[in-house]
């Protein structure tokens, strides 16, 4: 099987790491989406394990709990033929008193090709990329970015036939603490979409205009203006910290309770990064409705992570 650089988009891949959506151009995002779409179609054919990355080693290093993202990267690596090792905070030497820097220095001595990392502190993936000789993929760093979540969301929209240049996405919920909102809004703007935000005023950050999105109240108006309604997960600690009075009040004022319909009579698409708090961000009956893309997001997550791993390690080569 011959390979060439760039594929149909004419992109010469230049990035060693994937630290954030903000580092990618619109053309590079489209390139990853096209490769991810190819893998998504391949996954529908009951595929067998590939050998494209046979002999390469991947470490998943997660300092925050995340079943979906970790398992998705593990499956992506194994389907490409990689050897995959999973580290969690509970299993790391940090619990035995080793410093984070010493852990990084230890990893640097290992024969690893790629490292996927999730950490509660913003900027950690960038920090370790300065010390480690292999590819670093950010699986979520604090409140900063979650690039593969944004890419899988964009792939989901692409596969649904959404025209990014005529698309408005309403991101609703905890914008203040959400790395998902930041990465997705950046990616959408680079592809030509409009972004609007809504949620409790206490969870809308000051200076949100930096993300080039408009804040719209009430939430019903944000939904009315949108083609896609993207609901963010609400964490219980936000209520405990006083950002909103109660889960019942949040669900009443900001939860999606009925299928949103546009003026043309078509149902608006519903998305959620998961896991879903049924009855809080969205009524349970809406999760599996025909206009919900939530399950497709999971499938696209595996496909786009395969695309990211192959692109970083093989340098953007594509099949001919």
* Residue-level pLDDT at 136: 97
* Residue-level pLDDT at 302: 98
Q: Which two tokens stand for residue 171?
A: 């991101």
* Residue-level pLDDT at 109: 86
| Domains in the chain with CATH codes | 3-145+299-314 (3.40.50.1370), 161-292 (3.40.50.1370)
Q: Is the pLDDT at 97 greater than 90, yes or no?
A: no
C-alpha 302/C-alpha 145 separation (Å) is 19
Tell me what the mean pLDDT of segment 24-41 comes to: 98
* Residue-level pLDDT at 320: 37
DSSP 316: S
In the sheet that holds 83-88, the strands lie side by side as 83-88, 57-62, 114-119, 135-141
C-alpha 140/C-alpha 117 separation (Å) is 7
| Three-state SS annotation for 54-89 | CCCEEEEEECCCCHHHHHHHHHHHHHCCCEEEEEEC
* Residue-level pLDDT at 1: 31
Q: Is the pLDDT at 123 greater than 70, yes or no?
A: yes
Pairing of strands 214-215, 3-5: unpaired
Q: Which two tokens stand for residue 94?
A: 């940090």
Residue 199: which of 168, 178, 183 has the closest Cα?
178
Which value, to the nearest 10 degrees, does the dihedral of the CA atoms of residues 141, 142, 143, 147 take?
Answer: 10
- pLDDT category at 295 given cuts 50, 70, 90 is very high
Tell me the sheet residues that pair with 145: 141
Give alpha helix (H) positions in 88-163.
100-108, 124-129, 147-159
Chain centroid to CA 31: 16
DSSP 279: T
Q: Which two tokens stand for residue 33?
A: 């989406």
Tell me the sheet residues that pair with 57: 83
- pLDDT category at 210 given cuts 50, 70, 90 is low
Q: Is the pLDDT at 234 greater than 70, yes or no?
A: yes
Helix 147-159 crosses helix 26-43 at what angle (to 10 degrees)? Answer: 70
Tell me what the mean pLDDT of segment 169-177 comes to: 95
Q: What is the mean pLDDT of the chain?
A: 90
What pTM did the predictor assign?
0.92
Helix (H, G, I), strand (E, B) or coil at 300: helix
C-alpha 46/C-alpha 13 separation (Å) is 29
| pLDDT tens string 35-74 | 999 999 999 997 789 999 999 999 999 998 888 999 999 9
Q: Work out the number of other CB atoms within 10 angstroms of the CB of residue 37.
A: 17
- pLDDT category at 153 given cuts 50, 70, 90 is very high
Helix (H, G, I), strand (E, B) or coil at 117: strand
* Range name among 105-114, 150-159, 233-242 with the lowest pLDDT average: 233-242
C-alpha 128/C-alpha 117 separation (Å) is 10
> Which whole-number Å values give the CA distances from 170 to 265, 297, 301, in the listed order?
18, 17, 21
C-alpha 221/C-alpha 187 separation (Å) is 23
* Residue-level pLDDT at 244: 85
- pLDDT category at 2 given cuts 50, 70, 90 is very low
- C-alpha dihedral sign at 112, 302, 273, 16: positive
* Residue-level pLDDT at 164: 98
Q: Is the pLDDT at 93 greater than 60, yes or no?
A: no
Count, residues in the chain: 320
């Amino acid at each position: 099987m011959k390979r060439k650089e760039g594929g149909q988009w004419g992109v010469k891949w230049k990035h060693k790491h994937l630290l954030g959506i903000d580092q990618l151009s619109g053309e590079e995002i489209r390139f990853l989406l096209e490769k991810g779409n190819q893998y998504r179609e391949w996954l529908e054919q009951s595929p067998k394990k590939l050998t494209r990355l046979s002999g390469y080693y991947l470490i998943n290093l997660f300092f925050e709990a995340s079943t979906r993202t970790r398992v998705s990267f593990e499956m992506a690596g194994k389907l490409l033929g990689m050897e995959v090792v999973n580290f969690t905070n509970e299993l790391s030497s940090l619990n035995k008193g080793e410093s984070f820097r010493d852990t990084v220095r230890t990893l640097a001595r290992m024969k690893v090709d790629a490292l996927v990392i999730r950490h509660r502190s913003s900027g950690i993936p960038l920090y370790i990329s300065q010390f480690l000789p292999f590819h670093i993929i950010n699986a979520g760093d604090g409140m900063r970015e979650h690039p593969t979540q944004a890419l899988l969301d964009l792939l989901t929209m692409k596969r649904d036939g959404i025209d990014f240049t005529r698309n408005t996405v309403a991101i609703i919920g905890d914008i203040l603490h959400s790395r998902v909102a930041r990465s997705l809004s950046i990616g959408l703007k680079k592809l030509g979409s409009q972004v609007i935000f809504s949620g409790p005023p206490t969870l809308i950050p000051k200076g949100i205009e930096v993300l080039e999105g408009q804040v719209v109240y009430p939430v019903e108006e944000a939904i009315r203006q949108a083609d896609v309604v993207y609901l963010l997960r609400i964490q219980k600690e936000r209520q405990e910290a006083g950002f909103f009075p109660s889960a019942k009040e949040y669900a009443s004022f900001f939860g999606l309770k009925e299928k949103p319909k546009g003026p043309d009579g078509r149902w608006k698409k519903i998305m959620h990064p998961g896991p879903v708090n049924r009855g809080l961000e969205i009524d349970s009956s809406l999760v599996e409705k025909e206009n919900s893309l939530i399950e497709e997001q999971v499938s696209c997550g595996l496909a786009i992570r395969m695309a990211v791993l192959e692109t970083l390690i093989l340098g953007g080569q594509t099949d001919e």
